[in-house]
Structure 1
Amino acid sequence: MRDHQVTATAAQGFVPVVDLSRRNSAQGRRTIAEAIDQACMSSGFFVIVGHEVRQDLIDRMFSVTSTFFKLSDEEKDRVAHRPGVSGFRRVGGATALSLDQESPPDLCQAFAAHVTGELCEEERRTLGDQWATWTLANIWPENPADFRQVWEEYMAAMGELAADLMRLFALALGLEEGFFDDKFDHHGSSVAVNYYPPQTKAPLPGQLRRGPHTDFGSLTILYQEDERGGLQVLQGEDEWRDVAAIPGSFVVNIGDLMALWTGGRWVSTMHRVANPEAGDTSSRLTIPFFYLPNHDASIEPMRPTAEPCVDRSHSGAGVIAGQWMSCKLQKMFSGTT
């Protein structure tokens, strides 16, 4: 892969490109951490290349998932999300509701599986309330035959990448690399794929493929199709900036918990998925991995130290990660399931 500039003065401007290929050396990690810090202070978004996730795995993940969503509704409904089980949702919620903004349902279908979804029922019952999606058992479709195998392999690869990004985050904040490790040793992360069907009729007023929202957790790693756009990040009060897909890359953004954790130094930025232009009846598939802390992790805003890593003007109360996430999910899916 062609070498990319590591600094936050990247091709996409507001959403910089960060090359992780030098993260195996101490100096390389420091340089990458500096770039991440700049990106997270400005937009909360950056694109990573040189991440070492195998392209064949990414391609297989995209292929089996795309095949699943092209099945009939009847076949997809066999693995439908229901009490106690995480799977296919014909309506992927309304993300704007998570910010208490009225919104029609997003024009999106979804399939989700959780790292904790393979635990026994007794273990899962200890992880939170009824709105905590990571307490649900995974349900896997029989078609495609290798769906489960590929998804589990992909979740494992994303978990390893996310864990190292958190260590780089710690360096970026002037902390020991392992600062966040014990907050994620029983994480409830998930892959929650979004499928945006062809739009054959006009959306309702204000209806988008995904409405404006911020992510809830610590960080998100997103794969999006190279040739199909739609992801937009809010800059300033009202300027929406496209985030183009770079082949072989992932888009990374921080969520509300990470912004809180840094005492306001880093920003969790509003983003959305815009509708295609009139007459464009193509579908779109994106694969986000949501890296979440342990459900019982206490997230306390960092305070200034002798070597400050946070905004000194910030003050705020901490939260319990699982309670925060459950509240957001309840709002997102209220009235849409």
Structure 2
Amino acid sequence: MQGNQVAATAACGFVPVIDLSSKDTAQGRVAIAEAIDQACMNSGFFVIVGHEIPQGLINRMFTVTKAFFELSHEEKSRVAHRPGVSGYRRMGGTTALSLDQETPPDLCEAFSAHVTGELSEEERKKLGDQWATWTLANIWPKSPTDFQDAWQEYMAAMGDLAADLMRLFALALGLNENFFDDKFDHHGSSVAVNYYPPQVEPPLPGQLRRGPHTDFGSLTILYQEDDRGGLQVLQGKDNWRDVSAIPGSFVVNIGDLMALWTGGRWVSTMHRVTNPQRGDTSSRLTIPFFYLPNHDASIEPLRLYAETSDGHRQFGTSVTAGEWMSRKLQKLFAGTA
């Protein structure tokens, strides 16, 4: 797509498809930025194609990760998340806790690794003293044998893609394209894969594969299986909209911190992962990359956009990214405020 064709995608549906293939031209970047702005004001979600992430890398990441989750519980537990390290969680938490909602545990297993998890212990001690996952070391399974290599290559590729999306975000907000660069130059981003096992028993009342929630940080880049549904985005008060998987695409959404950063111009939208139909015992795998600012980055709401419909300025409160994320993560994993 070129120029106005890219921009036109933003008007096509609650979660539009935006083609990034023209992002290497000045005209193309402006058009893409306009489409992103419209999507983020409307739903906070959009789908990207033309992103240049090699399909071979995506396939390899998916293959090794699925193979890991299909190992026995004993094998997976060898790299279990525990004090000091980030790895496998038999239950991926109760996501609704981040919004102070009580629900049964999500029907999900998870494995996470952080960009900062490869740093030395001495270097990680410099990442703040908050209750925070980005201060943990990564722990890698020995099987599949190429698991670590695939994950590290994938994290690096996602980091590059996310950095360019943030530059497009800056253009969309009328800022210098490099406005966000120094807020992410030692970011604590992560890949936290969700594995939804086959449901051989009925879920509890109110129990979902992932409960309703918003994301916490700046942006999320999600790969989901082409032939497995489940992701839904909330439109209005009670209209849940399916987000279908387009082959070779990624779903992008902004988080609460990004919404605050824009002074409320952009929205961080509730989403969930529904259960399969009764009798469907297939599994599902999604691969989200959470792009987070530096732990010590000061997030100042952009005054240009911090204006309510009645004309009153509402700038919001400045926060430090690490403190913000720590509070959210404590609710999710520790059940504390």
CA RMSD across the alignment = 1.8
Match of 2:173 in 1: 173
Conserved? CA contact 2:256–2:268, under 8 Å: yes
Q: Once the two structures are superposed, what CA deviation does each residue of 1:24-78 show, in whole Å capped at 9, x if it has no partner?
A: 0000000000000000000000000000000000000000000000000000000
Cα separation, partners in 2 of 1:4 and 1:86, compared to 1, 3 Å = farther
Displacement of 1:212 in angstroms is 0.4
Counterparts of 1:292-331 in structure 2, within 5 Å, are 292-304=292-304, 309-311=305-307, 313-331=313-331
Q: Once the two structures are superposed, what CA deviation does each residue of 1:225-283 show, in whole Å capped at 9, x if it has no partner?
A: 00100000000000100000000000000000000000000000000000111111100
Letter in 2 for 1:177: E
CA separation in 1, counterparts of 2:193 and 2:3?
30
Match of 1:131 in 2: 131
Q: Equivalent pairs: percent with the same residue?
A: 80
CA separation in 1, counterparts of 2:290 and 2:54?
19
Letter in 2 for 1:231: L
Conserved? CA contact 2:10–2:39, under 8 Å: no
Match of 1:259 in 2: 259
Conserved? CA contact 2:97–2:335, under 8 Å: no
Displacement of 1:318 in angstroms is 1.1
Letter in 2 for 1:326: S
Q: Which runs of 4+ in 1 moved over 6 A?
A: 1-4
Displacement of 1:126 in angstroms is 2.0
Match of 1:85 in 2: 85
Cα separation, partners in 2 of 1:130 and 1:89, compared to 1, 3 Å = farther
Match of 2:32 in 1: 32
List alignment gaps of at least 5 residues for structure 2: none
1:216 and 2:179 correspond: no
Number of aligned pairs?
332
Q: Once the two structures are superposed, what CA deviation does each residue of 1:72-100 show, in whole Å capped at 9, x if it has no partner?
A: 00000000000000000001011100011
Match of 2:228 in 1: 228
Q: TM-score, normalised by structure 1?
A: 0.95
Residue 6 of structure 2: SS of its match in structure 1? coil
Letter in 1 for 2:143: N
Letter in 1 for 2:217: G
Q: TM-score, normalised by structure 2?
A: 0.95
Displacement of 1:2 in angstroms is 12
CA separation in 1, counterparts of 2:76 and 2:113?
15
Displacement of 1:335 in angstroms is 5.3
